[in-house]
Amino acid sequence: MFGVLPSTLPYIRSGQLRVLGVTTTKRQDVLPGVPAIDEFLPGYEASGWYGIAAPKGTPAEIVDKLNKEINAGLADPGTKQRLADLGCLIFGGSPADFAKFVAAEIERWTKVVHAAGLKAE
């Protein structure tokens, strides 16, 4: 689930904030007239996201049960509509899908940190 848009949406709707583009790879349904930066700079994406994780060593049957229930919640029409109204993009999947996603995010942002020469202080 992606998430910076919900906090800014009231300002956008009131006209206090002018949006030049969204940083997801496609336009947002909640802001259809606002282009994705990807339209001008192909491949650009910088999105926040939320995920749910369990401690290492959590029994597989518990992980599977949590995954099933979370995916069911995300598939609920009311939940889907509310999150869409907030500008969230919803994606569910398996624990393996999430692990692959997190690994790709770590790889991507590690490259950014190194290219920018950033160091922890």
pLDDT tens-place string over residues 5-53: 778 888 988 999 999 999 888 898 888 899 999 999 998 988 888 899 9
Residues 6+ apart with CB under 8 A from 75: 92
* Rounded percentage of the chain residues whose pLDDT exceeds 70: 97
Q: CA dist 105 to 10, 101, 109, 110, Å? A: 28, 6, 6, 8
For 63-74, what is the mean pLDDT?
96
The pTM (predicted TM-score) of the whole model is: 0.78
For 62-83, what is the mean pLDDT?
94
For 75-92, what is the mean pLDDT?
88
- The residue that leads in pLDDT, 24 or 77, is 77
How many angstroms separate the CA atoms of 115 and 67, rounded?
36
